[in-house]
Structure 1
């Protein structure tokens, strides 16, 4: 089982999953491996949104990222950084594209003198991906007999192009202020339709002076027969 209780939105999702199931779920497993410390790992879904299944920072075998490395740096195959999967889930779940610096998970060093790597396994869930600019309303909707299950929601900004039309350049410069929120799940999960405003009054202000947007990934669920 996946342990999702460290973040409110994931705890909410795990609870709802016990009562509903996805009406259609074609999800293929993807894997990303980053060998270079200080490098960037990129997860992406052409269709659907990211769902991190497992993540390892450390070493679990002698073959992965071993080229040009002395044997003594590969011998420890029971090395893993605690909490790596939680970091990946908070940063990437519910997004179509996610980039993460390996430095975000490499401290403290889980095994000195061992050459480590970041390996992430994820699926692309067939979810709807909704982007709503600040001060506008997000409308989530499912067909009759289905219910909304919010998989991930982030409020802030992580690029300079989304929701940038007629916005001052200075208001789209900060691309490191997007943060996860459980408020969309709390308001919309279990309903057939839901409207929520993308505003600081609802989500707080993660970056003053930056024009923000709300990203929501949600699934339409069918109630399980009793």
Structure 2
């Protein structure tokens, strides 16, 4: 599946970082009542390492909660890390609703939380509005390696200039695509159009954009 391919690319890129490159580990914890979890990288792009929805200890998100809601510390929703990776890998900023991982309830009557560990991998981050062209380029002697690419929309501000509100309201319309990697990996430079004709239309009526994270690696 596509997200397996993206995970493999991210892991390969992490092991091939240039000497001195810094990939910092971050952690985000969101209690059930907080609704939205936000991951972000000031430098580089997100690579999700682990994710838990449930409860693994009695301390996290325990304030004001009765003890009977904290005793089950072996509660984990299956597939949580896969959801986080599909939604967030290769992005600089990612917001995920906790409701996306809540069903089915892995442990009824236990107060749960979403905990995500992720790395910020050094990368070039490129955003291209729909109908425009994305230009990926490396210095002489280097080739492109795409970390991840998403086509759609996951916020109301990116590529929103002079667009009616109806075209930027759907922020749950961003899916990973392998087409950029298939077209650009191994090349010194590459141009690809951000359009429905290339990537399909994941949300009709929404003005979309292409988000790409890539590195330049030396030929060996």
Match of 1:59 among 55, 59, 69: 55
Q: In the alignment, is residue 186 of structure 1 matched against residue 178 of structure 2?
A: no
Report the Cα distance in structure 2 between the residues aligned to 1:16 and 1:189, rounded to whole angstroms.
Answer: 13
1:146 equivalent in structure 2: 142
Distance of 1:103 and 1:38 partners within structure 2: 10
Q: How many corresponding residue pairs?
A: 219
Q: Is the 8 A contact 2:2 2:177 kept in 1?
A: no
Residue number in structure 2 paired with 1:21? 16
- SS in structure 2 opposite 1:178? strand
Q: Which one of 101, 104, 107 corresponds to residue 105 of structure 1?
A: 101
Structure 1 pair 198–170 and aligned structure 2 pair: CA distance change class (3 A):
same
Normalised to the residue count of structure 1, the TM-score between the two structures is 0.88
- What is the CA–CA distance in structure 2 between the aligned matches of 1:71 and 1:165, rounded to whole Å? 50
Cα distance change, pair 39–74 in 1 and its aligned pair in 2 (3 A): same
When residues 198 and 8 of structure 1 are mapped into structure 2, their CA distance, relative to the original with a 3 A threshold, is: farther
Which residue is 1:166 aligned to? 162
> 2-side partners of 1:6 and 1:200: how far apart?
19
Deviations 1:61-100 (A, max 9, x none): 1211122222222222211111101111111111111111
* Cα offset, 1:6, TM superposition: 5.8
- Are 2:129 and 2:159, in contact at CA under 8 Å, matched by a contact in 1? yes
1:176 aligned partner: 172
Q: Identify if the C-alpha distance between structure 1 residues 161 and 8 changes in structure 2 by more than 3 Å, giving closer, same or farther.
A: same
**Pairwise CA RMSD:** 2.2
Q: Which has the larger helix fraction?
A: 2
> What is the 5 A alignment of 1:89-100?
89-100=85-96
- The change in CA–CA distance for 1:14 and 1:173 in structure 2 (over 3 A counts) is closer
Relative to 1, partners in 2 of residues 1:68 and 1:11: Cα closer, same or farther, differing over 3 Å?
closer
Unpaired segments of 5 or more residues in structure 2? Answer: none
TM-score (norm 2): 0.90
CA distance in 2, matches of 1:54, 1:102: 16
**Residues 183 and 8 of structure 1, relative CA distance in 2, 3 Å threshold:** farther
Counterpart of 1:155 in structure 2 is 151
Consecutive unaligned residues in structure 1, runs of 5 or more: none
CA deviation after TM superposition for structure 1 residue 201, in Å:
0.7
